[in-house]
Structure 1
Amino acid sequence: MRLSERDQQVIWHPYTQAQLSGAPIAIVRGEGVNLFDDTGNKYLDAVSSWWVNLHGHSHPYMSQKISEQLHTLEHVIFAGFTHQPAIELAERLLSILPSNQNRVFYSDNGSTATEVAIKMAIQYWWNKGITKTKIIAFEHAYHGDTFGAMSASARGSFTDAFSELLFEVIHIPLPLKGHENLTISILQKEISESGNTIAAFIFEPLVLGAGGMLMYEAEVLDQLLEICSENSILAIADEVMTGFGRTGKNFACGHLTRKPDIICLSKGITGGTMAFGATTCTAEIYAAFLSDDRSKTFFHGHSYTANPVACSAALASFDLLIKEECQQNIQRIASSHVDFVTRNQGHKILKNLRSTGTILAMDIETVEQNSYFHSLSTRLYTYFIDQGIILRPLGNTIYLMPPYCINDQELSRVYAAMESFI
């Protein structure tokens, strides 16, 4: 039996309706921007395998560093113990994060990174003897699939089955171009009516990923953060997708003048090699958990917290990220996206062409309203697969988020496939 046939007998895939989907493509090897299946077909991974891969598949330097760590220390409990890779990674992360970040808490993935952040923010106020439990988030947001992360995310098909179990969150409109003042006024209204019970504002800075690659400006986010600061509301930046160069800077927060109190990291942190998450915070937040009273401890942890192999993978990815070649590639991709947007502006069936850093997105004009279940999505996905390109449309929204090693010829090939479909 082929791998895909064996898979269908034993595997349950994420975000997949098995009754409506065909057999999965069995990938046996990866190299650079390409993945190879068990029949020899080659696919250009234009979405970085769900936004995680930064430097290309099977990167030799990444493989070397992971192998070296496996021969030294594969894992150790992180309560009461520590190790070199975890310490060095925290030091290096803090060196490129906003200057107010002071501590790093490790976890397993993006959902847990945001879960940690929400719990951290609420307990911060509890430890200070202040009852503040409400959270503000954007409409269309996606922060993960655990219960706290789902609560902060947009309500809809992803969460309907659990709606009665999710805690209440104040959702405000996304400050899209021309609607910034509406978002600001609604935020101010919600704060005024809250009775000082709002603990934190969680947001995806500049780009909302699963919500449709929706983009907004840094200037209005700075205004929202200023309002939150004036009202003692913690700011949580969910940089799970936008971190590590995706928006043209190391972190999307680098486009801001104000600094978040808590930052969530995952996806690209290990260069796409393995699951890992981190949540960073200010010295003030960390200090609120220091006490002779053990009940003020942050009671959260994972068996594989600060796994040394994952930390080493993150360190290797960090080495590659800060190289001049990688930084130039990021700017080259960003510039190419801008050129694509410029030459396709005014297209009769394309709307809202947009790019931020290495992320390019556009909506195809259709009679149907855009949604995750838009009928065009399957047609788009199948078309690009037939072209040997992996793109995973969000409804009728096409987006491109490639590994940084993609060259100009490969970028042009993806652009041409997009234009050819249209």
Structure 2
Amino acid sequence: MNNESWRNRSSAAVWHPCTQMKSLENLPLVPIARAEGVWLHDFDGNRYLDAVSSWWVNLFGHGNPRINAALRDQLNKLEHVMLAGFTHEPVVELSEKLGVLTGLGHAFYGSDGASATEIALKMSFHYWRNTGKPQKSCFVSLNNSYHGETVGALSVTDVALFKDTYAPLLRQSVQMPSPDWRLAEEGESAEEYALRCAEALDGYLVGHHGEIAALILEPLVQGAAGMAMYHPAYLKQARALCDRYAVHLIADEIAVGFGRTGTMFACEQAGIRPDFICVSKGITGGYLPLSAVLTTDTVYQAFYDDSVTRGFLHSHSYTGNALACRAALATLAIFEEDDILNANRGRQAKMNAALQPLCDMPVAHLRNTGMIWAFDVVDAPADFPHRFYQEALAHGLLLRPIGNTVYFMPPYVISDDEIAWLACQTIAVLRKVMG
């Protein structure tokens, strides 16, 4: 069957995510037959460089031989068993490794980023209830933050497109100024602006900390805000303020963890440890849905009791799925065996050099943190995201702009030649779209 056949069948049977289905009349689906490395291949023989890691999840390429081998081995042992009352080798080993990497413990598993956010919010709320402070039930996040689209996660998200329709279903939360350095005053450094935003957070917490359970934030890069990047000084100050006012700090490392910002976890660049860390996306190398929340022993002990109601009773059927945990273990093994964080520094430098010609084009704020790059297109037309996306496909690229922001989050196996080709084709697409 060809692309057209699969498009028609999918449109008739599948409700696609984050999609106005009527738009598929003019923005056709791209059926994918197979994938290898950084390349996606459709049914008509076309290929596309997966420059966004299939929604930021694929770290070591499609069809990675080592992850494939680990999953085949696990299939011959155990595919899944309920984690209530049972345990298994992959979930124990993964939890131990995540504990070492994060400095936190007792991993609690979910299926995706939004469920990790839900878990962390519920744990924080329940902790204060268990410790005799039930009034601490409100949450603070950053302007333009994104933490998922389930009801609890959406309550601390600040993206109107996702949130406004469901406002009557949501708990109220408070948003603080984002330390996004694009918002700094002329002559103000990224660090100075970050510290100014931290002062605003201080000003709010000093008067409201008695009712605040937690501050939740995306460390260093706010993804859905258009890859808004900020100085680690904000994280250091946020940690100090949360300590001062007895407020939990929840680090949403769902998109920025596992090497994406240059360190294994973004919080490391500020030298801090959060009270909760949420991880997902790259945790399985893009193979299977899995998320985890790790927290402190202090939080864990507040739930350890003879009373069932003081326990954390959140669950879902596939919690700690053995296959997903085994994929995650294989992913972590690649980090260690191939010295990925160090190797990525070389890729980062090559990509930065390849993108320099953009400085002579109508773009602003060309920026980079680790293996994330972005630039904003000046005077972009209203239909820019769709036009750029379609033209990128015609040039063999999977790129999905956020508003007027074009960003790259490629798999870590991208080669020097592929980096050069990606940059060259992006520039060609931009010239075509902007005329």
Match of 1:359 in 2: 372
Partners of 1:107 and 1:305 within 8 A in 2:
yes
Q: 1:308, 1:289 → 2: CA distance?
A: 25
Looking at structure 1, the residues matched to 41 and 380 of structure 2 have their Cα atoms a distance apart, in angstroms, of 36
Aligned to 1:58: 63
Question: How far apart in 2 are the matches of 1:71 and 1:354?
Answer: 45
Aligned equivalents of 2:159, 2:42: Cα separation in 1:
36
Render the CA deviation track for 1:214-267: whole Å, top value 9, x for unaligned. 000101221122111110011000000001110111111111122101000000
- The separation in 1 between residues aligned to 2:320 and 2:298, in whole angstroms, is 23
- Alignment-derived partner of residue 251 in structure 2: 237
Displacement after TM superposition at 1:47 (Å): 0.5
User: Take 2:209 and 2:376, find their aligned partners in 1: how far apart are those partners?
Assistant: 40
Deviating more after overlay: 317-326 vs 110-119 = 317-326
**Structure 1 residue 403 and structure 2 residue 411: aligned?**
yes
Q: Does 1:129 align with 2:132?
A: yes
Q: Pick from 411, 415, 418 the counterpart of residue 426 of structure 2.
A: 418
The 2-side partners of 1:389 and 1:325 are apart by 28
Deviation, 1:342, is 5.2
The residue type paired with residue 47 of structure 1 is V
1:258 aligns to what SS in structure 2? coil
Alignment counterpart, residue 208 of structure 2, candidates 194, 219, 224 = 194
Return the alpha-carbon distance in structure 2 between the equivalents of residues 129 and 9 of structure 1: 53
**Match in the other structure for 2:89:** 84
The Cα offsets for residues 349-374 of structure 1, whole Å up to 9 and x where unpaired, read as 11011100000000000166xxxxx4
Letter in 1 for 2:162: F
Kept after mapping to 2: 8 A contact 1:362/1:398: yes
Secondary structure (helix, strand or coil) at the match of 2:21 reads coil
1:12-411 residue pairs with structure 2 within 5 A?
Answer: 12-21=15-24, 22-97=27-102, 99=103, 101-131=104-134, 132-177=136-181, 178=184, 179-194=193-208, 196-340=210-354, 344-345=358-359, 347=360, 349-366=362-379, 374-411=382-419
Q: Name the CA distance, whole Å, in 1 between partners of 2:143 and 2:407.
A: 20
Q: Deviations over 1:197-219 (max 9, x none)?
A: 11100000000111210000101
Q: Is this contact kept in 2: 1:226–1:258, CA < 8 A?
A: no
Letter in 2 for 1:350: V
1:382-403 CA distance string (max 9 Å, x none): 1110011101111110000000
- Within the candidate set 4, 7, 10, 2:7 is matched to 4
Contact 2:146 2:159 in 1 (8 A): no
Q: Secondary structure at the match of 1:196?
A: helix
Alpha-carbon distance in 2 for matches of 1:271, 1:367: 34
Secondary structure of 2:246 counterpart: coil
- RMSD of aligned Cα (Å): 1.5
d(CA) in 1 for partners of 2:339 and 2:233?
29
Compute the displacement of 1:339 (Å).
Answer: 2.7
CA distance 1:228–1:319, shift in 2 (3 Å):
same
Question: Whole-Å Cα distance in 1 between the matches of residues 18 and 267 of structure 2?
Answer: 29
CA distance in 2 between counterparts of 1:71 and 1:43 reads 33
Cα deviation for residue 94 of structure 1 reads 1.4
Query: 1:155-206, CA deviations, whole angstroms, 9 ceiling, x for partnerless residues?
Result: 4121111101111111001113333344223212221231511110000000
Cα deviation, residue 7, structure 1: 0.9
Aligned residue-pair number: 414
Unpaired runs of 5+ residues, structure 1, are 369-373
Separation of aligned partners in 1, 2:66 and 2:410: 19
The question of whether the paired residues in 2 share the 8 Å contact of 1:329 and 1:405 is answered with: no
The amino acid of 1:15's aligned partner reads: C
Quote the offset at 1:323 in angstroms: 2.3
Alpha-carbon offset, residue 341 of structure 1: 5.7
Letter in 1 for 2:120: A
TM-superposed deviation, 1:343: 5.4
Deviates more, 1:316-325 or 1:54-63: 316-325
Q: How many angstroms does 1:337 deviate by?
A: 3.5
3-state secondary structure, aligned to 1:35: strand
CA-CA distance at 1:328 after TM superposition = 3.7
Q: Which has the higher helix share?
A: 2
**Aligned partner of 1:269: which letter?**
I
Determine the C-alpha separation between the residues in 2 that align with 1:232 and 1:268.
Answer: 31
SS of equivalent residue, structure 2 residue 375: strand
SS in 2 for 1:322: helix
Deviation readout 1:327-358 (Å, 9 max, x if unpaired): 3431122222433465544x351101110000
**Distance in 2 between the 1:38 and 1:306 partners?**
34
Kept in 2: contact 1:104–1:280 (CA 8 A): yes
* 8 Å CA contact retained: 2:197, 2:234: no
Q: Secondary structure at the match of 1:242?
A: coil
TM-score by length of 2: 0.92
Q: Aligned AA for 2:402?
A: L
Name stretches of at least 5 consecutive residues in structure 2 with no aligned partner. 185-192
CA contact (8 A) 2:209 2:246 kept: no
Q: CA separation in 1, counterparts of 2:156 and 2:326?
A: 31
